[in-house]
Amino acid sequence: MSVSAIRRLILVGLLISIGAALSIASPSFLTLDNLMTLLQEASLTGIVAIGFTLVLITAGIDMSIGAVIAITSMVCVNFISYTHLPAYVFIPIALAGGCLIGWVNGFFITYFKLPEFIVTLATRGILAGLALIAAVKDDQGFVKNVFIQDEVFLSFGETVGPVYIVTIVFFVLAFATQLFLKRTRAGTNVYATGANPTASRLSGINTDRTLIGVYMFSGFCAALASIFLSARMMTAMPDFGIGSEMDVIASVVIGGTPFTGGVGDIWGTVIGTLFLALIKNGILKLGLSPYIQPIVIGGIIVVTVIADVWYKGFAEKRATRIARQKQALAKEGV
């Protein structure tokens, strides 16, 4: 069995055992309501994490995702407050806005050959500021909390049966992205670009186009999550999503996509997202202070990364040993 398969199995095992432990510890954990809320939480992070996974596979990083969430929610609220355009007009505009931001990121990264981290950190700052400026203000200039009344928009926060729409969208998007990565040429190019950009270019892959596409997708995913978030909260705030990078990065890293590029997939990210949401939900259900959440998440990132590095070293040693034994055997055969 491959390393990633074992890793995944361990995570699923942990997921089930932690879930079982929580069911015993807290009577309100194993209720349909709580599980659906948990899934809804996971889906919001997860949608962003899907886009982020692709960026990470190309060995890049996107720090602007949180700010994209903020600006997108502000775009929607402004449409709702000042225009009478229906939701099915401005939602596509908001999503296109997310793509545009991603395109800008990708353009600066590829055309000017700037480091991904710096570019996206800069766009993050700019967007976070723009979100505040774009926020609807009252007479004294304070940010006004606009309650969304547009029914089409609000319906994004609804459920189909017991399942939230966002959860359905998350799993559909995950499935489609996984298919894209593993079964299309463009998806293969994403891996190749991350694994070895020089070899990819020599093989005829347009790595710049691949990178720009990946950042656009990341922006799109963040904008999509923003719409579901606003619909659920029935309002939008200019600080929506700011700081959510932490959860997203944690989900992807726990899911087994490393920062080195060329490796990773969406199922890992899905499991990582569920894992993280479970931990967060568990902290609440056990009645612990929500303030310890970031501490726990930070701790989990460190432990995961250490385990990965340790296991990688172990696996490499084992591989060389096996190779040597094989060689020795081959020699005896001669």
Partner 1 sequence: MSANSPLLLECKGIDKNYNGPMVLANVDFSLKRGEIHSLVGENGAGKSTLIKIITGVTNRNAGSIVFEGQSVPVEHNKIASERLGIAVIYQELSLIHGMSVAQNIFLTKEPLFAGLPIIDINKMNRLAQEMIDKYGFDLRATDIIDKLPIAQRQTVEILKALSNKASLMIMDEPTSSLTSTESAQLFKIIRLLKSEGITVVYISHRMEEVFDLSDRVTVLRDGKLVTVLEKEQISPAEIIRLMIGRALSEDESRHRMVKKEGEVVLEVEHLCCEGKLKDISFKVRQGEVLGFGGLVGSGRTELMRAIYGIDGFDSGRLTYLGKNYVPSVEKSIAGGYGFVPEERRLQGIMGGISIVGNIGVANLDAISNSAGFVSGTKEREKADKAISLLKVKPANPDVLVGNLSGGNQQKVVVGKWLIRDLKLLIVDEPTVGIDIGAKEEMYQTIERLACEGVAVIVVSSDLPELTRLSDRIIVLRKGQIIKEFAEGVVTEEDVLRAASGIVEGGTQ
| Chosen residue from 96, 133, 152, 199 binding partner 1 by CB under 8 A | 199
- Interaction pattern, residues 14-33, with partner 1; x per rule: CB under 8 A: --------------------
Of 43-51, 68-76, 105-113, 314-322, which part binds partner 1 (CB under 8 A)?
314-322
Cβ proximity to partner 1: between 196 and 235 the closer is 196
Of 104-112, 208-216, 220-228, 317-325, which part binds partner 1 (CB under 8 A)?
317-325
300 CB-near residues (< 8 Å, 6+ apart) = 250, 254, 276, 279
Cα separation, 156 vs 91, in Å, equals 11
- Interaction pattern, residues 236-265, with partner 1; x per rule: CB under 8 A: --------------------------xx--
Using CB under 8 A as the binding rule, whether residue 192 contacts partner 1 is answered as: yes
Which amino acid, residue 174? Answer: A
- In angstroms, how far is the first alpha carbon of the chain from the final one? 30
Using CB under 8 A as the binding rule, whether residue 188 contacts partner 1 is answered as: yes
Chain centroid to Cα 175, Å, comes to 14
From residue 274, alpha-carbon distances to 52, 123, 245, 252, 330 in Å are: 16, 29, 16, 11, 47
CA torsion angle 174 178 181 186 (round to 10) = -60
Using CB under 8 A as the binding rule, whether residue 270 contacts partner 1 is answered as: no
Q: Kindly state the helix (H) or strand (E) to which residue 164 belongs, with its residue range.
A: strand 163-164
Using CB under 8 A as the binding rule, whether residue 333 contacts partner 1 is answered as: no
Which residues in this chain contact partner 1 in the complex, by CB under 8 A?
179, 183-186, 188-189, 191-192, 195-196, 198-200, 202-205, 262-263, 319-321, 323-324
